[in-house]
Chains A and B, each alone.
Chain A
Amino acid sequence: MALLEVENMHSYYGNIHALRGVSLTVEEGEVVTLIGSNGAGKTTTLRSIHGVLPPKEGKVIFDGKEIQGTPAHDMISRGIAQSPEGRKIFSRMTVRENLEMGAYHRSDRDGIRTDMDRVFELFPRLQERIKQEAGTMSGGEQQMLAIGRALMSRPRLLLLDEPSMGLSPVLVERIFDIIREINAQGTTILLVEQNANVALEIATRGYVLETGAIVNSAPAAKLREDPKVREAYLGEI
C-alpha cells in the first residue's frame, strides 16, 4: 500500500478550477517530484494534500486513511509536514524558536532535542545562527530553516515546495544533497520543483503537471530521456 494516494483531486481558488482531477501515489521511502511550468498547479497540489486549500472533490489517502477535509493543523500529528513555497518562516522569531515551533504539537522534550541536533547536523549553519532573528538571514539560510522546521515534527511524509527558489546554483546543489540525505534517513518526500533538472536527478519517480492535470508520469530516469519533457522543462531543444 502506498503511503500517500491522491485520487481525482479537484481544487478551486474561488471560481477558478485550479486542479482538474489530479491523481498520484507516493510509496514509502520514495522521492517523488512534481514538475511543470508556472501556474500548472504544483503548489496547489501540495496545499490541497496538506489541507491548507481543502479539495472540493476526490480523495487523499495517507497511510490507509482518508484525510481530505482534515484541517491543516491536524496534518502534522498524522505525519505530514511541509516546507512551503516562499519559505514562510517566522521572520521575527529566532532560529531556535522557529525550530521549536516546528515541534509545536510534540511534548517529548528529549525527542525534540534529539531532532534539533539532527537538524543542526544537516544544516550546521543553523546552529551558528541559533539566536539570530530568522528574517535577517540570507535566502539560503531561510530555506534551510524552513526545511529544518518541517523536519522537527519527525514527519513520515515531507512536502517540499520549490526548495531551490532564489538560490545560487552552488547552494541549490547543497540543498539537494541534503534532501537526498533526509530521504536516506527514512523520510518520504514529495518534491515540487521548477528546476526540473535537479529534481529529476534525485527523484525516484516524477509526475508532469499541466494546467491542473497530470499529463505524464514515469520513473525519473525515463522522464529525463523523454523528448517532450526535455524540450519543455529541461531547457533543451
Chain B
Amino acid sequence: MDSIKGSSWQSRLAVVLIAILLVALLIQAVANPGQFVSQLLIGITNGAIIALVALGYTLVYGIIELINFAHGDNFMIGSFVGLTLLAGFGIFAPISGDSGTFIKILGVLLALVVAMVVCGFVNVAIERIAYKPLRNSPRLAVLITAIGMSFILQNIGLVWKGPAQVPFPELISSANIFPGDAIIFRWKDLFVIAATIPLLLGLSYFIKNTKQGKAMRAVAQDKEAAAMVGINVNRTISITFLLGGILAGASGVMFGLFNGITVFNVGFTQGLYAFTAAVLGGIGNLTGAVVGGFLIGIIGSMADQYIGVRWTAIVIFGVLVLVLVFRPRGLLGDRSAVQGGGE
C-alpha cells in the first residue's frame, strides 16, 4: 500500500480502525476457533451468492459503464421462477422436503437451469427495451431508466407472490456435514459453494478464451475499434446482459434454497450488497467482484457473530468507506479485468 506514504490523517485513521478490527477478530478466533471457522464458512457461503450477483453489475458496467439497478431485482425474479417451478405449475406434484433424493436433485437442477435461462432473457430484454434506445443519451438518463426498471421488476414480483415472505421448500439438508458441533458446515453451504465454483470457472473461461469473450473485452475497451474489426457491438452488449442475467438467475435460486425464503424486495437488499461488493473490488473488474463478494460475506458473518446483527450493515458499509479512502477505485480497480485478463 504505497498510498500510505503520503498519507493524510484520514487514511491513517482508516488503517488504525482496520487494524483494531482485525486484532479484535484475532482475539475471538483464538478464544473459540470452532466458532470462528464456522462463521468464516458461513461468510464464504453468503459471499458466494453475493459474488455471483456482483459479477452481473460489474460485467454490465465494464461494457457500457452503466450501473444496472434492475440487476438485483432480476435476481429476485430468478428466485421466484425457481420457486414457481418447484411448486410444479400444476403439471407435476410440488417438490418438497419429503420427495425422494433423485427428485430433489432433479428439481434443484431444473429450477437452476430454468431460472438462469429466464433471467438471462429478462436481462437481454431490459437492455433492448430500456437501455439500447438511450445508448447515445447522457449517462444520467440511462441510470434513471435503470432505477425505473428496478421498480417495474419489483412490482411484478409484488403482484406475482404478494408482499409477504414466501417459503422455499427445504430441498437441501440443514444437517451438519462434520460430526459434532465444533465446526458447522451444512449440506446447504456445500451446495452453494459447489454450484458457485463451476459458474465462476465457466465465466472465466468464456471471457478469457472464447471468441465471444474476446469480443466482449474488445467492446469494453473501444466500441468503435471493435466495430471496425467486424464485431457486432450491439450483439456483444446483449450477450453481456445475457451472462449477467444467467448468473442472477442461478444465484436467485441458490439464495432461496439456502435461506428458505424469498420476498419481492429481496433484490433490493441483496442487490445493494452485491453492488457494494462490486465497488469494493473495483467496478468493472471481474476478479474484484468475486473478491468483494466473498469479503462482504465474511465481514457480514463476523459482524453478525461478534458485534451484533443490527450492526452488520453499518460494519459492511463502514469497511467500504475505509477501503475507498485508500483506493477510490476499489481493491483491484486500477486494472479492469473485463477489459484485460478476466481471470
Q: Which residues of A contact B (CB under 8 A)?
A: 50, 52, 71-77, 81-82, 84, 88-93, 97, 100-102, 104-105, 133, 149-150, 153
- Give A76 to B335 CA distance when docked, in angstroms: 30
Contacts of A73 in B (CB 8 A): 226-228, 230-233
How many of B's residues come within 8 Å of A, CB to CB? 21
**Is B336 touching A92 in the complex (CB atoms < 8 A)?**
yes
Contacts of B310 in A (CB 8 A): none
Give residues of chain B (225-265) contacting chain A, Cβ–Cβ below 8 Å. Answer: 225-233
Partner of B224, one of A88, A91, A105: A88
**Is B218 touching A90 in the complex (CB atoms < 8 A)?**
yes
Contacts of B340 in A (CB 8 A): 92-93, 133
Partner of A104, one of B231, B336, B339: B231
Contacts of A91 in B (CB 8 A): 221
Task: Contacts A90-B217, A97-B214 known; list 15 others, CB within 8 Å.
Answer: A52-B228, A72-B224, A81-B229, A84-B225, A88-B222, A88-B225, A92-B221, A92-B335, A93-B214, A93-B340, A101-B215, A101-B231, A105-B229, A105-B230, A149-B229
**Is A93 touching B229 in the complex (CB atoms < 8 A)?**
no
Partner of B221, one of A72, A90, A102: A90
Is B5 part of the binding interface, using a Cβ–Cβ cutoff of 8 Å? no
Contacts of B336 in A (CB 8 A): 92
**Smallest distance from the beta carbon of B227 to chain A beta carbons, Å?**
4
- Give A101 to B221 CA distance when docked, in angstroms: 12
Partner of B339, one of A52, A81, A92, A101: A92
- Give A29 to B290 CA distance when docked, in angstroms: 53
- Give A100 to B217 CA distance when docked, in angstroms: 13
Partner of A93, one of B218, B230, B233, B335: B218
Contacts of A72 in B (CB 8 A): 224, 227-228
Contacts A90-B218, A92-B217, A92-B340 hold; do A101 and B224 have CB atoms under 8 A apart? no
- Give A73 to B214 CA distance when docked, in angstroms: 15
**Smallest distance from the beta carbon of A155 to chain B beta carbons, Å?**
11
- Give A88 to B232 CA distance when docked, in angstroms: 17
Contacts of A105 in B (CB 8 A): 229-230
- The list of the 10 closest CB pairs from A to B, nearest first, reads A88-B225, A76-B230, A105-B230, A92-B340, A72-B227, A92-B339, A73-B227, A104-B230, A90-B221, A104-B229
**Smallest distance from the beta carbon of B313 to chain A beta carbons, Å?**
35
Partner of B227, one of A52, A90, A93, A150: A52
- Give A149 to B230 CA distance when docked, in angstroms: 12
Contacts of B339 in A (CB 8 A): 92
- Give A77 to B340 CA distance when docked, in angstroms: 26
Contacts of B224 in A (CB 8 A): 52, 72, 84, 88
Q: Which residue of chain A lies nearest to B340 when distances are taken between CB atoms in the complex?
A: A92
**Is B225 touching A89 in the complex (CB atoms < 8 A)?**
yes
**Is B218 touching A101 in the complex (CB atoms < 8 A)?**
yes
- Give A76 to B229 CA distance when docked, in angstroms: 6
Q: Which residue of B222, B229, B335, B336 has the most chain A CB atoms within 10 A of its CB atom?
A: B229
**Smallest distance from the beta carbon of A85 to chain B beta carbons, Å?**
10
- Give A132 to B303 CA distance when docked, in angstroms: 44
Contacts of A52 in B (CB 8 A): 224, 227-228
What would 21 A/B residue contacts be, using CB atoms closer than 8 Å? A50-B228, A52-B224, A72-B228, A73-B231, A73-B232, A75-B230, A76-B229, A77-B230, A81-B228, A84-B225, A88-B225, A89-B225, A90-B221, A90-B222, A92-B217, A92-B221, A92-B335, A100-B214, A104-B218, A149-B229, A150-B228
